[in-house]
Chains A and B, each alone.
Chain A
Amino acid sequence: MNWIDIGHIDDIPLHGARVVKTPAGCVALFRTGAAEVFAADDRCPHKGGPLSEGIVHGQSVTCPLHNWVFDLNTGAAQGADEGRIGTYPVRVDGGRLLIDGNAIGKRSAA
């Protein structure tokens, strides 16, 4: 793992999201709880909706364009919809947000 510091947890509103730009497009960081953050692709597999603009509830996000719902643990679309977004290791250390640079790097290679 190669942890990269990308900011402070309070830079993301509770039940909100922010994006991190990478060479292969944006990765969205979702804050689902006081100290709980997930990282996943910002692009909806349906029609490319920006997931970081969706409503974050429980450990899921709803795409703002046509309401597909994704489980942030697995990246899988819920219910009848089929599709998956990539998820990436992220952790919170003393309030700092650390994302795994290796996983992000692989993403750009893929």
Chain B
Amino acid sequence: MTQKLVIIGAGMASGRVIEHLLDADPGAFDITLFNAEPRGNYNRIMLSPVLSGEKTYEEIVTHSDEWYAERGITCRFGEHVVRVDPEMKVVEGENGHVPYDKLVIATGSAPFIIPVPGHDLPGVISYRDLDDTNAMIDAAASGGKAVVIGGGLLGLEAAAGLKERGMDVTVLHLMGHLMERQLDEAAGYLLRKDLEARGITVKTQASTKAILGEDRAQAVLLESGETLGADLVVMAVGIRPETRLANDAHLDVARGIEVNAQMQTSDPDIYAVGECVEFDGHLFGLVAPLYDQAKVLADSLLDQPNAFAVKELATKLKVTGCDLFSAGDFAEGEGREDIVFRDPSRGIYKRLVIEGDRLVGAVMYGDTADGSWFFGLIKDGTDIEEMRETLIFGPAFQGGASADPLSAVAALPPEAEICGCNGVCKGQITSAIEGGATDLGAIRATTKASASCGTCTGLVEQLLAVTLGDGYAAPQAQPVCGCTHHTHEDVRRLIKAQELKSQAAVWQELGWTTPNGCHVCRPAVNYYLLADWPLEYRDDPQSRFVNERKHANIQKDGTFSVVPRMWGGITTPDELRAIADAADKYAVPTVKVTGGQRIDLLGVRGEDLPAIWGDLNRAGLVSGHAYSKGLRTVKTCVGTDHCRFGTQDSTGLGIKLEKHLWGSWTPHKLKLAVSGCPRNCAEATCKDIGVVCVESGYEIHVGGAAGMEIKGTELLCKVATEDEAIEVISAMTQIYRENARYLDRIYKWLARVGLDWVKAQVVEDAENRKVLAERFQLSQSVYRKDPWAEHAQDSTTRAQYAPLANLTLEAAE
């Protein structure tokens, strides 16, 4: 006997159900199909090509009005179902009731709207159906600015489509990299780069605070305080299963409508399918599993045995030119091994995650041709032991070639600057090589490249190797660490030449062999990035040694020391009292006068750090950076104020210098001293930078040290005024910051580049000195601040110093 089947929702899942039912037994059911949208089933996933203009709506319709009519399906399109009555077995539509024998709920999901002020203004659109798509197309017709909130699949497809239609598009994403659920950092970086290349602005870690506007959206306000003009705001932050009808009918609903493996809800005559369901704790957002569900549901309705099971999923992005693929589980779990392949010159990144002898996840960018092969291995749980070594090269490969280590240099455009000192770019060097210069000496003679400070020697050698191939045997230089074949100098030069502004960019473009470096290279790269791009790059505390992350020196027993700054060694009774009070309050075991003219509180518990800093801050004391690769102390003597030999105000100048330089990060520690006369009581001639005052002005000395090696300084220059001294010292600090290897103090770096080169840049070239001093000042606009105050005042940072949880009570039970 024909049964009455009512289906709520004419979407992609129910569409499949109907096809299966009609194929198997066209006479089994008398079907009524409700749809809130005023149309039947179309291929929702192809809305993005409609938005971008690559397809029309007509091309993506899967079931036309005729199709339904020919099959005798009663269509009630444009009509919401408002209620389901499981007792009476009727469905109530806006235009009347329909009784059922069997009911299928296929209501899909609804876009999640973040409830910020202004979210309901006209001009704020979500991205779910044809009407949304048309609204975006209309908005784009008048050009202007679009802000897309959400850097996941939907948001990026919307952004690309709107850009294609001529809008000025910005994507805001809450997390650190795009599509973080499907991609790791490296792939996210490449995706971002491709989107930026097509003119889309991407802002990560951007949290929306409000949408502003009088009677329609005009701007988006971020938590950071930044405002972005917007004629159109697209919210694509996620979806939530549409469960209202099931809730009201008292079916079991968790996050979605709960179904068993036969797609049956808690009421045996009501089934659910698609994005509105929850099965075994899983929700669904891609069509592949929905199609499996549809087959199972059709079988259940026809009393055929079948059971739904959750399978691995693969994701692709439908933005032409952004080739990405991600499948399986590439993040969570224990006992995993990573295989990473990068080809910087072609923008390719592949990462496989292996557990035991199985492939469990894959992320790829740039070349996704082998995606489905890897996906097959994941789904089938194939034993990959035999091919482990060559797996990453895909099914076609059986040889073992590896990425060309020279590709980063090969990929540089001819106008990329190789030698900063002499302004020589790649093209000039390659032409010189082609013109017969086949070794370093000849390149130096013909182009001057690497003839000055020499830090680009590695790059020039690589260019020789790339251009001459086997004809050139490069001398071996020491790479930074096992993660890369590049030297520190190469990394620094390439960060500048390729304008690499994030760690992910460095790992990818320079072909790092590990996912995110190691304890040797990460702090160095973090430093290079912040030194070269003070405004664009944000310091990463997780890439710093504990002392710099916690702004205190770790002791052998895991406690910390606290050293407040005493500017130029000068203090006051009030400061001393505050230090004494803090020592009492936090039961500090040792109070010591350091070799740097200040006081050290040793043995403070990590958890107490923010509190003791807060107390010291209240007395006006700030971090002394006794832990940093940055400015430490400026030691002074008493000078003209008290000393009978003093020639200048050495204490005053020392304080000025310390206030000017404090907070800056440098390749290694930076210590200064100012002595009031050549008797040199402040030991200025064994500091990184030392000033010796004389009757006629100030002698500036550089390159001293008195630690593992004792080095007397060399004279850099002599100046007449304090202002000149400060400018020379700023410029000196900056040129050291921009050029030295991480962990080289000034004297070591000078041994590589020569004092003459530095003199030429800082002393003889007045214009350059000024520019260097300005760049230092720019960087200080970000870094001249007290990290203690920041950490003590910010509740999230402060929390990092405390344990995450305390299980001493629970586990003792």
Contact = CB atoms under 8 A, between A and B. Distances in A.
Interface stretch (B396-404, B530-538, B543-551): B543-551
Contacts of B431: none
A57 B805 CA distance: 24
A55 B804 contact: no
Nearest to B514: A58
Contacts of B545: 55, 64
Contacts of A65: 554, 556
Given A34-B175, A64-B545, A11 B804 contact: yes
B811 A108 contact: yes
Contacts of B180: 34
Given A50-B558, A87-B334, A101-B811, A20 B803 contact: yes
B335 A19 contact: no
B335 A53 contact: no
Contact of A54 (B181, B517, B540, B546): B546
A1 to B, nearest CB: 14
A34 B519 CA distance: 19
Given A34-B175, A73-B336, A54 B514 contact: no
Nearest to A31: B542
Interface residues of B, number: 44
B542 A20 contact: no
Interface residues of A, number: 51
Contacts of B519: 54-55, 57, 62, 67, 69
A32 B175 CA distance: 15
Given A13-B541, A73-B334, A53 B546 contact: yes
Nearest to A63: B519
Interface in B343-399: none
Contacts of B556: 47, 65
A6 B804 contact: yes
Contacts of A97: 804
B812 A12 contact: no
Contacts of A13: 541-542, 800
A47 B549 CA distance: 21
Nearest to B804: A18
A73 B184 CA distance: 19
B523 interface: yes
Q: Which of B558, B811, B812 counts the most chain A CB atoms within 10 A?
A: B811
A7 B184 contact: no
B335 A73 contact: yes
11 contacts: A15-B540, A15-B542, A20-B806, A20-B807, A57-B516, A57-B522, A58-B338, A58-B514, A62-B519, A73-B336, A91-B332
Given A35-B331, A73-B336, 11 more contacts: A19-B804, A20-B805, A23-B811, A38-B334, A49-B558, A50-B554, A55-B522, A55-B544, A57-B517, A58-B516, A104-B811
Interface of B: 175-176, 180-181, 184, 331-336, 338, 514-519, 522-523, 540-546, 549-550, 554, 556-558, 799-800, 803-808, 810-812
